[in-house]
Amino acid sequence: MSDSLSRLSNWFFLPPAFLPLIRRLLGLATLPIGLLIWVWAHGGSGPYTVACWRVESQLLEPPMPQEWFNIVAFASGFVSSLLLIIGNRSRIPLVIIAALEGYYGSRDLLAFHCSFVTLAFWFTIALIFDNRERSSCANRLIQIAIFVCYFYSVLQKSLFPDFVAGSSFQALFEDGWPLRFFFVPLIVQHPLPFAFYRVLSVLTIVLETFLAFGLFIPRTRKFALCIGFAFHLSIIILLDDTNLIALYSVIMFIGYLAFMAPPKDWQEKALKFLKLTSADAVSESPAGGEIEAPANPGIESVVNDNASVGNLEIVHPPSNVQTTLALLFAALMFIVPARIYFWPNHPVSTLNFFDRSPMCFAMFLMRQTTRSMSVRYAEADGSWHQLLLKGRMDSASSDNELYALAKFLFDTNQKIERIQIDNSVVINKHLLQSKRLDSSRGKNPTLTLRSEELKN
């Protein structure tokens, strides 16, 4: 038993490698992410917010503090990001940023709908476990976050027949909808056969599967990193960035650094460049698992001749509390995205795009457009009235969004006794999904769903 725990610790804890650079780059990335969370924490186009989390029909919405507090909180987050950028090694900026992202991001579904927000949040928490020059689990937690992203992306795509068949990519790309404007005429004027989209879909699943596992295998890691960098660079080049999709690739690039290590003689070259000398330069070690013997006992590890992760011995490992918290966080990264596969009376095959949010990594899974949205309400005298839609109302489609809209109307108009919401969306241009929410004041709402193929 002790050997098993020792092997787990040896695998889990890694030298710092590029962690200082990861902190700086993550601090830079959290600046636009903080702005995005600010917007959605206030409801986006309004006039209400859609809580990320719920139990059955009960939304779990964190209360919105007074605006002066929000300004102070986000200002402290901005300063914390700047501190990370300039190289501050304290945990306090990380705790502040993680608290802001976790609390305010949970106020609205569309904040954590973005995969890059989820990953940035997880990376920030992972860096809290950084022990500076000593071995820590920070690098491994970031690696696990990358694995979870790819793993659940593959799972979502593999369990969605439309994606495997090629229909999702065809619906997404055949009219150039997500592409940068200068690529649109090319694909519209030279339409690709359906077989191309089918092959591209299968290759995407194979590629993401390879990246999920290949990054952890020493023999394939360099190749996986090259493929991954090319894959995410192509996303930046090809796709329109009005929805900040480039930040997804940037966050993945930052995460890839957890699988890399500086050159063995990087400090020696830096010292020569600066015309300095040092008797205690540290020989950094790879975070991916191929570890060189440290020259400074500040890195608390001993490596045998095999130089593999399994043979790394942590001489002074972190406390049991820190280890337990790190393992719990790693487990939560797997558990949270898995929840949608166990919802009662709502199979994953019936979930539309936004039903899968938050933190579920459904990137490029389908193309969804709203076909119709109707809201009517009855007052105490039994008279029915049609609601004039405004703000985000006409684009609502997920269960959370419909529940939130009904709650907003009940809270803001005490005369309303009953609400009926009818919504329909078209998935991949051929599947019509219709929902009806019927809710009476003081009673649990009922939500019914119906799907049918559209006729050509």
Our count of domains for the chain comes to 2
Q: Which phi and psi angles does 263 have, rounded to 5°?
A: -55, 150
CB burial string 43-82: b at 16+ within 10 A, e below: bbeeebbbbbbbeebebebbeeeeeeebeebbebbbebbe
- Tell me whether residue 351 is in a domain: no
DSSP designation for 114: S
**Domain boundary pick from 299, 323, 340:** 340
- With 0-12 CB in 10 A as exposed, 13-18 as middle and 19+ as buried, what is 295? middle
pLDDT by 10s per residue, the chain, length 456: 556 666 676 788 888 889 999 999 999 999 999 999 999 999 998 899 999 999 989 999 999 999 999 999 999 999 999 999 999 999 999 999 999 999 999 999 999 999 999 999 999 999 999 987 778 899 999 999 999 999 999 999 999 999 999 999 999 999 998 999 889 999 989 999 999 999 999 999 999 999 999 999 999 999 999 999 999 999 999 998 776 889 999 999 999 999 998 776 655 655 565 555 444 444 444 455 443 434 433 333 322 223 333 333 444 455 677 888 999 999 999 999 999 999 887 889 899 999 999 999 999 999 999 999 999 999 999 899 999 999 999 999 999 999 999 999 999 999 999 999 999 999 999 999 999 999 999 999 999 999 999 976
In angstroms, the CA 397 to CA 370 distance is 8
Tokens representing 304 are 């045998």
387 and 276, same structural domain? no
Q: Which residues, listed in sequence order, are joined to residue 425 by a DSSP beta bridge?
A: 370, 433
Tell the residue number behind the tokens 């879909």, with chain if given. 201
Tokens representing 39 are 């917007």
Amino acid (one-letter) located at 159: L
- Taking alpha carbons only, the member of 111, 409, 386 closest to residue 244 is 111
Evaluated on CA atoms 115, 117, 121, 127, the torsion sign reads: positive
- Tell me whether residue 413 is in a domain: yes
394 and 319, same structural domain? no
- Tell me whether residue 110 is in a domain: yes
Contact criterion met (CB below 8 Å) for 352 and 427: yes
Range of the domain at 371: 367-453
Helices (H), 132-244: 138-158, 161-165, 167-173, 184-189, 194-214, 218-238
**Domain boundary pick from 322, 340, 358:** 340
Task: Look up the pTM and report it.
Answer: 0.87
Helices (H), 262-398: 266-273, 320-338
Contact criterion met (CB below 8 Å) for 288 and 260: yes
In angstroms, the CA 443 to CA 446 distance is 9
